[in-house]
Amino acid sequence: MFSGIVEEMGVIKTLDRNLTGARLSIFAETTLEDLKLGASVSVSGVCVTAADIHDRDFVVDVSSETLNVTNFGGLAVGAAVNLERAMKLNERIGGHLVSGHVEGIGILRDRQPDGDSIILTFEVPESILRYCIQKGSLTIDGVSLTLNHVTEKSVSVTIIPHTAKVTTLGLKQPGDSVNLEPDLIGKYVERLMQNAGQLAPKPAIVIDQEYLKKRGLL
């Protein structure tokens, strides 16, 4: 479990693809301080397991499923990633509860300055947009953010200077992809209401060309 408060930016050192997924090594500093083998790390919002640890980097294995449903399929050596170690229960939760289970990919459609801050507008899949509310929380590339505006197809957030400096969101340009995880609370409420017969079940996923394109399968 994570809080969505990024601790540092890491850099992809190596990326080796294979038939079952990929193995990544990631340059880091803070993340390595008390990292143990088998520990969970959020890498741009994706919960992965430390499979090997060195002096200046750590190694993770990524499944083909993760490559398909996150923007990891487009990662390259030298790419920056947001890093957060698993949350400790005796610390303050600065963001919100984040599982690291990415559920979709968003696309940055607009970037506008707002004084010293930046307003970012992302196109978001309907399957995630259904859980988005104004002033609610959304995890974008592992960063816990408050939604300023929600439309039928997009959400907007304000990135303060600190967030722009210490996370990859400050580097994002229109057309770039991001990993999305909706707030857990909304999903639990929806499930409870469905079981009580007070809400219709979620619509079935339609696997068409558009669905496959968004996941990099075409």
CATH, residue 35: 2.40.30.20
Does residue 158 belong to any structural domain of this protein?
yes
**169 within a domain of the structure (yes/no):** yes
- For the chain, strand residue ranges (E) read 8-18, 21-27, 40-43, 46-53, 57-63, 80-85, 104-114, 117-123, 137-140, 143-150, 154-159, 177-182
68 and 151 inside one domain? no
Domain shared by 72 and 128, yes or no: no
User: Please, what is the end-to-end C-alpha distance for the chain in angstroms?
Assistant: 32
pLDDT in tens, 163-202: 999 999 999 999 999 999 998 887 777 778 777 776 666 6
Task: Quick: pLDDT tens for 49-83.
Answer: 999 999 999 999 999 999 999 999 999 999 999 99
Do residues 39 and 118 both lie within one domain? no
Mean pLDDT along residues 92-103: 87
88 pLDDT above the threshold of 90:
no
Assess if residue 166 is contained within a domain: yes
In this structure, the answer to whether residues 154 and 187 fall within a common structural domain is yes
Position 98 in a domain: no
1 lies in some domain: no
Count: domains in the chain: 2
d(CA 105, CA 91): 30
The larger pLDDT score, comparing residue 208 to residue 43, is at 43
Whether pLDDT at 214 is above 70 = no
Residue 206 counted as domain residue: no
Residue 204 has pLDDT above 70, yes or no: no
Mean local confidence (pLDDT), 2-13: 96
- pLDDT band (50, 70, 90) for residue 20: confident
Q: Compute the CA torsion angle 34, 51, 87, 89 (nearest 10 deg).
A: -80
Q: Does the structure show a pLDDT above 80 at 95? A: yes
Identify the domain containing residue 149 by its residue range.
104-195
Q: What is the mean pLDDT of residues 80-97?
A: 88
pTM: 0.85
pLDDT at 92: 78
The predicted pLDDT at position 194 comes to 72
Residue 94 lies in a domain: no
Residues 144, 98 contacting (CB under 8 angstroms): yes
Q: Per the domain annotation, does 33 fall within a domain?
A: yes
Do 75 and 15 share a domain, yes or no? yes
